[in-house]
């Protein structure tokens, strides 16, 4: 009896804690002029990074700065600003870091070019290794007479192998 009572109390405590933690989470409720504005808002907060959080977008962050930025984006959408104007404002205020997909410009060439450069380097390296192996496997330094003799020996060995397999 004592065990079931303790178990019931523990289950109730876990249930209450779970309900309370849901109440502590912050939910932004914004009114939009149209469904198009709502979609634009959702896309913008998904594409922008929280300046405080290491690798979290505005939609997933509960930090105070993320809440402020979501409110700011909503305000700018209500004012009729375009997505580009909103993005430019955020970049001017917080830098390129706020964008999950930084723009291609002089300061981001390494970011965009490094994967392509590494793939190119890998392909060239594989080609060089393949060529070197091919050279190692190929007979080197044979005169034409020796190469002909080698070819004749190979053909003779193939004939013998064929005859042996036919006799078996």
- Output DSSP code: residue 99: B
Q: What is the mean pLDDT of the chain?
A: 80
In a domain, 92, yes or no: yes
In a domain, 9, yes or no: no
- Mean pLDDT value across residues 41-63: 84
pLDDT band, very low/low/confident/very high, at 25 (cuts 50, 70, 90): very low
**104 φψ region: left (φ > 0), alpha (ψ -120 to 50), beta (else):** beta
**30 φψ region: left (φ > 0), alpha (ψ -120 to 50), beta (else):** beta
The whole-number pLDDT of residue 155 equals 92
In a domain, 42, yes or no: yes
- Mean pLDDT value across residues 155-160: 90
The whole-number pLDDT of residue 74 equals 92
Report field, pTM of the whole predicted structure over 0.75: no
Q: Terminus-to-terminus CA distance in the chain, angstroms?
A: 84
Q: Tell me: pLDDT of 49 over 80.
A: yes
In a domain, 102, yes or no: yes
Q: Which CATH number is 93's domain given?
A: 1.10.8.640
In a domain, 130, yes or no: no
Contacts of 52 (CB under 8 A, 6+ apart): 61, 63, 65, 66
Q: Tell me: pLDDT of 124 over 90.
A: yes
Task: Render the burial of 133-147: b for 16+ CB within 10 Å, e for the rest.
Answer: eeeeeeeeeeeeeee
Q: How many domains does the chain have?
A: 1
In a domain, 3, yes or no: no
What are the tokens at 119? Answer: 């793939």
Distance, CA of 115 to chain centre: 12
Q: Tell me: pLDDT of 58 over 70.
A: yes
Q: Tell me: pLDDT of 3 over 70.
A: no
In a domain, 21, yes or no: no
CA dist., res. 68 & res. 58, Å (int): 10
In a domain, 73, yes or no: yes
Contacts of 50 (CB under 8 A, 6+ apart): 56, 57, 58, 61, 63, 65, 66, 69
Give me the domain span that covers residue 47: 29-125
- Mean pLDDT value across residues 92-102: 79
């Amino acid at each position: 009896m004592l065990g079931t009572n303790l178990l019931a109390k523990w289950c109730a405590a876990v249930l209450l804690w779970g309900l309370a933690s849901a109440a502590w989470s912050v939910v932004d409720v914004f009114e939009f002029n149209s469904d198009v504005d709502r979609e634009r808002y959702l896309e913008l907060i998904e594409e922008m990074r929280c300046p405080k959080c290491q690798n979290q977008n505005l939609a997933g962050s509960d930090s105070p700065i993320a809440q402020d930025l979501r409110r700011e984006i909503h305000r700018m959408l209500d004012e009729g600003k375009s997505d580009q104007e909103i993005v430019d404002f955020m970049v001017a205020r917080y830098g390129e870091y706020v964008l999950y997909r930084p723009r291609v410009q002089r300061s981001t060439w390494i970011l965009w070019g490094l994967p392509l450069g590494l793939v190119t380097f890998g392909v060239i390296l594989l080609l060089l290794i393949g060529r070197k192996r091919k050279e190692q496997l190929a007979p080197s330094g044979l005169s034409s007479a020796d190469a002909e003799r080698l070819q004749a020996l190979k053909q003779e060995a193939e004939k013998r192998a064929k005859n042996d397999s036919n006799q078996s």
